[in-house]
Amino acid sequence: MAQENCLQDIELYKKRSLSLKDALELLSGKWKLVVLLHLYHHGTSRFKDLQEGCVSISPKVLSKELQNLEINQLITRTVNNTKPVTVSYAITEHALEIEPVIMALVEFGMKHRVKITAA
Amino acid sequence: MAQENCLQDIELYKKRSLSLKDALELLSGKWKLVVLLHLYHHGTSRFKDLQEGCVSISPKVLSKELQNLEINQLITRTVNNTKPVTVSYAITEHALEIEPVIMALVEFGMKHRVKITAA
DNA sequence: CAGGATCCGTGACGATACTG
DNA sequence: CAGTATCGTCACGGATCCTG
């Protein structure tokens, strides 16, 4: 019986680790969250706007981050039929679901900075 | 007036980015969260237990991760006066404050996996 | 304008061996 | 037992140039 609970614990634990890993992979990287914050704020943006939003990001890197975000369905990519082609990136509902979590991280980050610099 | 609000927005935005960056640096890396989950679960652990908990982590890497966590006051390190020296690592209250956030991440990770594998 | 191709430095992570 | 030392690898991010 105790054995059973223990095994369940281990399974739960493993599942959590994997889920956590998944979630972190979504957000890890130098720019993904900057992009997300920008899109949370603006709702939708073009490539160039994002490039200016992330000061000093190279187009290659931005492109890659955007592709990753699109694959994970956190943003959508739509090509506009304009003379010089423009592309719009927009936040998805799925991404909106993590917004509170991200904001919680922001809050903790602020608290943490205070705590660490005080010590 | 609108100008003022705009500037405030920019400041808030920058502050958020920085806080977020701080928070992520705490948790980023391949092993930090595995260690934290282990300690959330067990409360306190010795070096070897952690090493076995994180299957296939090298002592050097584990050591480095632990140092980092200690610097950020997420764990404490205490040396025990035993025959062969043992060291205990324990979770701090500060780390307990992020636990709900981490669990939120876990939850999102599970949802996300379902959503992605379905597509 | 959007972003792919190429080249490159750096740091994170790993394997193994060794010490107090 | 709890690490440190040393060496090696590889992917991430960056700089620059090029194209549809």
- Domain assignments of chain B as residue spans, ordered by start: 1-28, 31-118
Q: Which fold has domain A31-118?
A: Arc Repressor Mutant, subunit A (1.10.10)
pLDDT digits (tens, 9 = 90+) for A95-119: 999 999 999 999 999 999 999 988 7
Q: Say if residue A92 is exposed, middle or buried (CB neighbours under 10 Å; 0-12, 13-18, 19+).
A: middle
Which of B17, B33, B105 minimises the CB distance to A101?
B105
**Nearest nt to B57, CA vs C1'?**
C14
Structure tokens at A53: 């939003």
Written as one string, the DSSP assignment of chain B is -HHHHHHHHHHHHHHHHHHHHHHHHHH-SSSHHHHHHHHHHHSEEEHHHHHHHSTT--HHHHHHHHHHHHHTTSEEEEEE--SS-EEEEEE-HHHHHHHHHHHHHHHHHHHHHHHHHH-
Structure tokens at A5: 């609970």
Confidence of residue A1 (pLDDT cuts 50, 70, 90): low
Chain B residue numbers touching A22 (CB-CB < 8 A): 109-110, 112-113
CA-CA-CA-CA torsion sign (A108, A111, A113, A116) = negative
Chain A residue numbers touching B27 (CB-CB < 8 A): 24
Which of A28, A73, A113 minimises the CB distance to B22?
A113
Indicate the DSSP class of residue A86. Answer: E
H or E segment at A75? strand A75-80
pLDDT digits (tens, 9 = 90+) for A58-99: 999 999 999 999 999 999 999 999 989 999 999 999 999 999
Query: String of b and e for A17-37 (b: at least 16 CB within 10 Å)?
Result: bebbbbbbebbebebbbbbbb
A93 and B CB contact within 8 Å: no
Distance from CA(A32) to C1'(C5), angstroms, rounded? 23
B100 and A CB contact within 8 Å: yes
Q: What is the pTM of this model?
A: 0.89
